[in-house]
Amino acid sequence: MQLREDIRNIAIIAHVDHGKTTLVDQLLRYSGTFRENEQTDDRMMDSNDIERERGITILAKNTAINYNDTRINILDTPGHADFGGEVERILRMVDGVLLVVDAYEGCMPQTRFVLKKALEQKLRPVVVLNKIDRPNARPEHVVDEVLDLFIELGADDEQLEFPVVYASALNGTSGEEPEAQEESMEAVFKTIMTNIPAPIDNSSDPLQFQVTLLDYNDYLGRIGIGRVVRGSLKVGEQVTLIKKDGSTKSFRVSKIFGFLGLKRIEINEARSGDIIALAGLEDINVGETVCPSNHLDALPILHIDEPTLQMTFVTNNSPFAGREGKYITSRKIEERLMLQLETDVSLRVDPTDSPDAWIVSGRGELHLSILVENMRREGFEIQLSKPQVIIKDVDGVKCEPVEHVQVDVPEEHTGAVMESLGSRKGEMVDMVNQGNGQVRLEFKIPSRGLIGYSTEFLTQTRGYGIINHTFDSYQPVVKGKVGGRRQGVLVALENGKASTYGIMNLEDRGIIFVEPGTEVYAGMIVGEHNRDNDLTVNITKEKHLTNVRSANKDQTSTIRKTRQLSLEEAIEYLDDDEYCEVTPESIRLRKKILNKNEREKATKKK
């Protein structure tokens, strides 16, 4: 059996924030891929604005590095549970994985999720203990934790003999011992070369190429990214695409791109083991196979996780519609959602009875809110309904998604967290006292119990708690109300500008969301009520001025700090009878029925 010793294909997997993208940066720098005077940024692989602002990887991306005479193809994967669909497919393209684990935090929920997928694919692991320079780093304990996790997930003997490299990606150091750190990534490269198997060279066999990722380009249309599993492929060659439903379509390969550093390079030929991008067919999809017309042999279809959460996207019909955005018509919004489907395979868009509304389903709140954030930056105005979990029928039983939640909190806050998760139908699975004042709690909880919980959690733990959750399974629906908002809201009575006087009069009634001078309309939510009922208030009220001076002189008016909601917080905050209005400049909450009398009638009918 011949091997292609000039290539290694690896994926970097880890929990969110454990340093995958920073590690790829250092590998790129130390491999000499860039010229000495070439300008490079930190976290080079996080190429879009939202990834840079939030410091998270959203889309899986690939790069390639030349190390000595070997081309190392590296795939950087997202660490967030909402983008787990990306990780699963990536693992089909590689022969081994670099599992990055934080030397202080150890194994986290997403570490378990991504490692389980890698072990199922029989991939060879290399463990990189990152952030070894952290003051509280505990490398020996974390290696034991990783070994326990491998055993628990059913790793075979070969996988259990994993090599460990210690590194600080931020400082650009690595070594085979925690204390012996050198200012280079040589230890990581050597471990990859000796432990990750080279791909099999079967270039003389008939072609098989499977699409794993999609990209889109205005000039070339859809671009399929994947690995040549068998055979070879040339530009201009006539090949056949085997679709998911078994139908076939012939096309000519117009362009083949290879990868090096952050660039795509046009190449004329690719052989088995190469990771390439292919252009030439407009309706190519993830999981489909390209093969020669005279030898049709499809690879197994890739499994893509089903969406677990859905929201209704509605065209903006508020009194302020069209003031701030460029695109507000249903035609433009539908076009944009369809364009998103070109590259995002975990997303679903379904029409409704109304031509102005669509049901958009995704893998979680973050997945959907990133789409909304991108749309508002492009100039769209939309309204969003409260997120709902997707109920599935499993053998005639109605089932809902259940999440595995891991919480790290200071000891003094454990009671409050356990009580609030218990009230949301959470079931405690494990509790470990770390011995340094921190307690780790693990729960199984219905996904709908977590909607809107993060803000409450931060308040309960005064910002010191860390919560992580990943999709666990579908379980029979829990009866009764789970989660949801307990407080009512303050709703504006009429159109106008919020006044300082109006806000001061309302401060005893609850928390205000708008600053003085903000334009409001009747039916817009301007604050949170202290009680559980909604209250219609006059926030635009001005002080009645007379020419009589008061004895105690007018003191300078001061108002409390208002609460500004981010996009995620606003979406989580919604109730069933409310919309979140999103425009390029504002995020407003409103009632679906703006008129006070009509709203009260509808409530009575309920």
Distances (CA, A) of 433 to 223, 305, 392, 407, 415: 50, 34, 37, 12, 13
Rounded distance, CA 555 to CA 217, Å? Answer: 61
3-class SS shares of the chain: helix, strand, coil, % to 5? 25, 35, 40
Q: Quick one: tokens of 35?
A: 């010229």
Q: Which uninterrupted H or E stretch holds 148? A: helix 139-152
**19 annotated as belonging to a binding site for a ligand:** yes
Q: At how many degrees (to 10) do helices 453-460 and 414-423 cross? A: 160
Task: Work out the burial of residue 103: count CB atoms within 10 Å of its CB; fewer than 13 is exposed, 13-18 middle, 19 or more buried.
Answer: buried
Q: How far apart are the first and last CA of the chain?
A: 71
Rounded distance, CA 416 to CA 421, Å? Answer: 9
**217 annotated as belonging to a binding site for a ligand:** no
Rounded distance, CA 22 to CA 29, Å? Answer: 11
**562 annotated as belonging to a binding site for a ligand:** no
Rounded distance, CA 67 to CA 10, Å? Answer: 14
Rounded distance, CA 329 to CA 355, Å? Answer: 11
**18 annotated as belonging to a binding site for a ligand:** yes
In the chain, the largest separation of any two C-alpha atoms, in whole Å, equals: 100
- The three-state DSSP-derived secondary structure of 513-531 is CCCCCCEECCCEEEEEECC
Rounded distance, CA 553 to CA 321, Å? Answer: 43
Distances (CA, A) of 501 to 215, 491, 506: 53, 17, 9
**130 annotated as belonging to a binding site for a ligand:** yes
**25 annotated as belonging to a binding site for a ligand:** no
**Residue 523 near residue 590 (C-beta atoms within 8 A):** yes
Q: Within its chain, how far is the Cα of 254 from the centroid?
A: 33
Which phi and psi angles does 500 have, rounded to 5°?
Answer: -60, -40
**430 annotated as belonging to a binding site for a ligand:** no
**69 annotated as belonging to a binding site for a ligand:** no
Known binding-site positions: 17-22, 130-133
Known binding-site positions for GTP: 17-22, 130-133
